[in-house]
Amino acid sequence: MLRRRDVLQFAAAAAAVPLALDPGWAEAYPARPVQILVGFPAGSGPDIVARLAAQWLTERLGQQFVVDNRPGAGSNLATEAAARAAPDGYTLKFDFLRDIAAVTCMAGTAYLMVVTPSLPAKTGPEFVAYAKANPGKINMASSGTGSASHVTGELFKMMAGVDMVHVPYRSNYLPDLLSGQVQVTFAPTPSVIGYIKQGQLRPLGVTSAARMELLSDVPAVAEFVPGYEAIGWYGFGVPAGTPSEIIDKLTKTINAIVAERAAQERLASLGLDPMTMTTAEFDKFVRNETKKWANVLKFANIKVN
């Protein structure tokens, strides 16, 4: 069974910060290194973006932001570690949880439907035909039950009318995809773009409504599964009740970083669309995303408390 906090596994970030502060604390923060807990393995999309964010926040705020990967249980291991950490602003969680106040969004990303080169299907339509002719024989890898790669794939199964076996991973599933032990995944662009350029994985479609500039020869999934669209996002949140001074400082800092040309170019090189939002805009965005995926969760029989 999947808890509601697990639904929002679209690589957002939550900072455990104090609920009561002395005046001026927000200006002084951070006064020592900050740990970022990532509930996904090294090399995954969330890990790649978390490390970029850590680098930029270190440069901007003058203290080290250190990424600590704690994959497993749909990122709940990292969630538990964050929950047990002292609420002093020095442990951040790269995830999005229930009872989290929105800060801002950093980037949006389409996912890429990629297959192992050994799979006979060379195009999206060929894949759909092959899957329908071989129900239950294609293994679909994901980074865990309820993860973005999982529900994005479930949306494809629902709309394309195909039966694939979901294989959730605690560790990085890419080695098994490269070797052909699993045949398909819906992966964040940053985690697979290098393998695609090297010819080690075959992209069949991009999950955005239109093609992406970085891979203009790869069709949108919607071109062979009409109406399909799934977009991931990377953002920051803090525990509900966090003082507005801290939220404002984080929002302004992150938005300022993303507004810089160098950051935008780096994000674009990974297939990411730089995004900035006000706290209110991001809060509304998160709520709309939650509603959007309700039907997918129901179709996949993922129970939400």
pLDDT in tens, 276-286: 999 899 888 88
Those residues whose C-beta lies under 8 Å from the C-beta of residue 84, and which sit 6 or more positions away, are: none
Same domain, 190 and 288: no
Same domain, 56 and 119: no
Task: Point out which residues pair with 15 in neighbouring strands.
Answer: 92
pLDDT per residue over 9-61, tens digit each?
333 333 333 333 344 555 677 778 877 777 777 877 778 888 988 899 899 98
In a domain? residue 51: yes
Rounded to an integer, what is the distance from CA 209 to the centroid of its chain? 18
C-alpha angle 229/254/77, rounded to 5°? 70
In a domain? residue 67: yes
What local confidence, expressed as pLDDT, does residue 81 receive? 63
In a domain? residue 183: yes
* Residue 172 DSSP symbol: -
Residue 206 backbone phi and psi in degrees, to 5: -110, 140
Question: What's the token pair of residue 264?
Answer: 């935008």
Same domain, 217 and 246: no
Interatomic CA distance for residues 238 and 96, integer angstroms: 9
pLDDT per residue over 197-250, tens digit each?
999 999 999 999 889 888 999 999 999 999 998 888 888 777 767 778 878 888
Nearest alpha carbon to residue 32 among 93, 86, 105: 86
In a domain? residue 93: yes
What local confidence, expressed as pLDDT, does residue 303 receive? 58
Same domain, 101 and 121: no
* Residue 219 DSSP symbol: P
Amino acid code (one letter) for 302: I
Those residues whose C-beta lies under 8 Å from the C-beta of residue 222, and which sit 6 or more positions away, are: 209, 228, 229
Same domain, 98 and 138: no
Same domain, 178 and 82: no
Same domain, 271 and 131: no
DSSP H helices, 13-114, are 25-28, 45-61, 76-84
Higher pLDDT, 148 or 174: 174
Neighbouring CB atoms inside 10 A of 215's CB total 17
User: Which of 179, 206, 223 delimits the end of a domain?
Assistant: 223
User: Which of 160, 190, 223 delimits the end of a domain?
Assistant: 223
In a domain? residue 162: yes
Higher pLDDT, 73 or 161: 161
Report residue 270's pLDDT band, with 50, 70 and 90 as the boundaries: confident
What local confidence, expressed as pLDDT, does residue 88 receive? 62
Same domain, 162 and 209: yes
Same domain, 102 and 235: yes
The mean pLDDT of 166-181, rounded to a whole number, is 91
C-alpha angle 36/39/40, rounded to 5°? 110
Interatomic CA distance for residues 112 and 271, integer angstroms: 10
pLDDT per residue over 124-160, tens digit each?
999 999 999 999 999 999 988 877 888 899 989 999 9
How many structural domains compose the chain?
A: 2
Residue 80 has pLDDT above 50, yes or no: yes
Q: Is the dihedral of CA 51, 54, 59, 64 positive or negative?
A: negative
What local confidence, expressed as pLDDT, does residue 223 receive? 97
Domain that holds residue 64: 4-107+231-299
User: Which of 199, 223, 247 delimits the end of a domain?
Assistant: 223
Same domain, 103 and 245: yes
What local confidence, expressed as pLDDT, does residue 85 receive? 58
CATH for 79: 3.40.190.150
CATH for 184: 3.40.190.10
Same domain, 144 and 88: no
Same domain, 27 and 162: no
What local confidence, expressed as pLDDT, does residue 299 receive? 67
Interatomic CA distance for residues 187 and 41, integer angstroms: 13
In a domain? residue 270: yes
Preceding amide of 188 cis, omega within 30: no
In a domain? residue 305: no
In a domain? residue 304: no
Residues found in the chain:
305
The mean pLDDT of 73-77, rounded to a whole number, is 63
Which has the minimum average pLDDT: 70-79, 88-97, 123-132, 143-152? 88-97
* Residue 111 DSSP symbol: E
